[in-house]
Amino acid sequence: MKSPVSRAERRAATVDRILDAARREFGDRGKDGATIRAIAGRAGVDPSLVMQHFGSKQELFELAVTPVAELDGDDVPGHLADVLDVRLRELPPATRALLRSMLTSPDAARAMSAHLQGRAERLTAVAATDDAPLRAAVLVASILGVTIARHFLDLPEIRLADPEDVARILSTILPTDE
């Protein structure tokens, strides 16, 4: 891979390194436990550079935990299998940071709530029941619970489960026309 040559490319590469380091640090330590100094150390930069690029720990945290859109499509069982395949494997650093911080940081809780609401709305649109909004909310909450049980509580049945089996069970919550 060619290393960045221009000043703009070097700056972008540094920002990416800092953001990646922040996701990992917030994921390991949560918002309150992470420090700018530790993030800078992981990124291999001076702490003042972190502040120069991101302004504050709060602004860096908000960027680091912003959920990335995952999968699209109206195939709910297939979508569930894909989402669970991701959730039952190594969590992306941003997701890990958000999950670790959502119970202690109002900002992380708002970010997670907005992300889950968006997921529930997408699922509601393809559901074939009158109570689709409730079923969709229960489904996304269940996936959140499965993710927490796997990565933070180490519940053996969830840790060892095949994502397709978990998806098959969860797909009964929200029937579709398919």
Q: Cα(174)–Cα(11) distance, rounded to whole angstroms?
A: 46
Print the domain residue range for 133: 76-170
Domain boundary among 39, 64, 89: 64
Judge whether residue 158 has pLDDT over 60: yes
Q: What is the pLDDT of residues 38-64, one digit of tens each?
A: 999 999 999 998 998 888 888 888 888
Asked whether residue 169 carries a pLDDT value surpassing 80, the answer given is yes
pLDDT in the model for residue 101: 87
Q: Looking at the predicted structure, is the pLDDT value of residue 152 above 50?
A: yes
Q: Is the dihedral of CA 95, 99, 105, 108 positive or negative?
A: positive
Helix 36-43 / helix 47-54 crossing angle, nearest 10 deg = 100
> Within this chain, do residues 85 and 46 fall inside the same structural domain, yes or no?
no
φ, ψ of residue 97 in degrees (nearest 5): -65, -45
Count H helices, E strands: the chain? 10, 0
pTM for this predicted structure:
0.66
Residue 136 maps to a domain: yes
> What is the pLDDT confidence band of residue 2, given thresholds at 50, 70 and 90?
low
- For residue range 64-77, list pLDDT tens digits in order: 877 654 434 456 66
Residue 123 token pair: 């699922």
Q: Give the H/E segment covering residue 96.
A: helix 93-101
Please check whether residue 132 lies inside any domain of the structure.
Answer: yes
Query: Tokens 């669970």 sit at which residue?
Result: 84
Q: Kindly compute the dihedral angle of the four CA atoms of residues 93, 34, 142, 159, in this order, to the nearest 10 degrees.
A: 60
Sign, CA torsion 27/80/66/19: positive
Query: What CATH code is carried by the domain that includes residue 17?
Result: 1.10.10.60
On whether residue 71 sits in a domain, the answer given is no
